[in-house]
């Protein structure tokens, strides 16, 4: 019994495998995203290609993608959010982080995947990398409490 690598907690046979083998269709964009992650783990490149919308397949490198998927050590998928992509929607977005190591170095692929339903089936269209938002500094007033937690005013503590 193999636990599905998509992070659902279900067995692979009850989760992503039926979608990857074509015995079942993904009902939501998130379900397709999870199946695509599992397909990378198990190097099911035909599924990756076939689950990509036909208008977005140009430049797909089957051999290169397979080589990369085989060389990566897959560590997990985290779904951050979904926007639309439900059973009654025609488009959807799934923001996720795929964790893996490559040549001994831990990596994260943080993406907002775009999905479109065509003839009742969900397809991946494109992914947009999500960059970490920059830290925003807030100005501390001289009479504000010190950020170090001392209970003193900023001007009497760290603001000297």
pLDDT digits (tens, 9 = 90+) for 98-126: 999 999 999 999 999 999 999 999 999 99
Residues 69 and 103 occupy one common structural domain: yes
| Residue ranges making up the domain that contains 157 | 136-160
Answer yes or no: is 77 within a domain. yes
pLDDT in tens, 9-64: 999 999 999 999 999 999 999 999 999 999 999 999 999 999 999 999 999 999 99
Q: Supply the pLDDT for residue 139.
A: 73
Residues 27 and 56 occupy one common structural domain: yes
Answer yes or no: is 145 within a domain. yes
Residues 145 and 68 occupy one common structural domain: no
Q: Supply the pLDDT for residue 149.
A: 64
Yes or no: say if 41 and 20 are a contact pair by the CB < 8 Å rule: no
Residues sharing a CB contact under 8 Å with residue 8, sequence separation 6 or more, in sequence order = 15, 16, 34
Our count of domains for the chain comes to: 2
Task: Answer yes or no: is pLDDT of 153 > 80.
Answer: no
């Amino acid at each position: 019994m193999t636990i599905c690598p998509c992070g659902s907690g279900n067995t692979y046979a009850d989760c992503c495998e039926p979608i990857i083998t074509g015995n079942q269709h993904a009902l939501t964009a998130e379900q397709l995203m999870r199946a695509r992650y599992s397909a990378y783990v198990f190097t099911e490149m035909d599924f990756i290609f076939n689950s990509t919308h036909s208008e977005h397949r140009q430049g797909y490198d089957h051999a290169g993608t397979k080589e990369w998927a085989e060389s990566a050590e897959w560590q997990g998928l985290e779904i951050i959010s979904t926007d639309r992509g439900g059973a009654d929607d025609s488009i959807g977005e799934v923001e996720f982080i795929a964790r893996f190591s490559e040549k001994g170095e831990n990596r994260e692929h943080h993406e907002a995947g775009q999905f479109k339903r065509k003839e009742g089936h969900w397809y991946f269209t494109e992914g947009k990398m999500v960059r970490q938002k920059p830290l925003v500094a807030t100005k501390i007033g001289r009479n504000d409490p010190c950020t170090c937690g001392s209970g003193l005013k900023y001007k009497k503590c760290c603001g000297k």
